[in-house]
Amino acid sequence: MKIQKYDAVLDGSGKNVLVEEFSKEYADIDNLDSPEKIVEVMERLFGLSDKAEEYMYLICMNAGCKPVGFFEVAHGTCHAAVVGMREIFVRALLCGVSDIVAVHNHPGGRSQPTGEDFRVTERIREAAQLLGVLFCDHIIIARDGYFSFSEEKIVRKKEDAPKFIHT
C-alpha cells in the first residue's frame, strides 16, 4: 500500500490544489478497514501518541478502504485544535474520495473523548452526509490506547451503512 501525505495550497489563480508532501510504501497492510490498522499506520508515520500538541489528520479513502491521501487538517495547543469543516471537505472533494476517517491525538495521555470531540464528530458526520461522503470513523489516539467512535457505535461502521445512502 502506498501512503501519500498531501497539503492543500493555492495555485496562481487562488484555487485549492493538492501538493504531495511525501510518499511511502507501506507493505504490512493492504487497506485501512479497521481502527487497529488505522492506529498502527498513524503511529508509525506520525507518532501521534507522542505529540506535545493536538493534531487532527484526515484520511481520504476509496470505497475499498485504500487510502488516497493523508492530510493534517488541524494543529493546536496541548488542550485543543480548531477543526474546520471547510478544511476537511475541500481536501476530501479534491481527492474525489467516497470515504473519510478523522484521527486526532490527546497529548494528555487519555484517549477518552471530550464533549468537544463529540461535537466535532457530529459536525463532520452531518457535513459528510450532505455531501454524500461516508464518514467511517473518528479515532482518538493517546498513550493509553485509542478510542474509536465507530467501535462505540457513535459513527456507523461502513458495513452497517446502507449501500445506497452514505451516512
Q: 39 phi and psi, to 5 degrees? A: -60, -45
Confidence (pTM): 0.87
Under the banding of pLDDT at 50, 70 and 90, the label for residue 79 is confident
Q: Which three cell numbers stand for residue 122?
A: 457530529
Q: Which three cell numbers stand for residue 126?
A: 452531518
**How large is the average pLDDT for residues 43-72?**
94
The average confidence (pLDDT) of the chain is 89
Measuring CA to CA, which residue among 140, 132, 121 is closest to residue 55?
A: 140
Q: Is residue 167 part of a domain?
A: no
Whether the pLDDT of residue 167 is over 60: the answer is no
Q: How many separate domains does the chain show?
A: 1
Q: Is residue 166 part of a domain?
A: no
Q: Is residue 49 part of a domain?
A: yes
Q: Is residue 25 part of a domain?
A: yes
In the β-sheet with 99-105, what is the strand arrangement from edge to edge? 16-25, 2-10, 67-75, 55-61, 99-105, 134-142, 145-148
Under the banding of pLDDT at 50, 70 and 90, the label for residue 53 is very high
Q: Is residue 165 part of a domain?
A: no
**How large is the average pLDDT for residues 135-151?**
96
Least confident of 19-28, 49-58, 102-111: 19-28
Q: Is residue 97 part of a domain?
A: yes
Q: pLDDT for 150-160, tens place per residue? A: 999 887 545 55
Percent of the chain with pLDDT over 70: 93
Hey, how many other C-beta atoms are within 10 angstroms of the C-beta on 19? 9
Higher-scoring residue by pLDDT: 15, 2 = 15
Whether the pLDDT of residue 146 is over 70: the answer is yes
What's 101's domain CATH number?
3.40.140.10
Q: Is residue 84 part of a domain?
A: yes
Q: Is residue 56 part of a domain?
A: yes
Q: CA–CA separation, 77 vs 70, rounded Å?
A: 21
By residue range, what is the domain housing residue 70?
Answer: 2-160
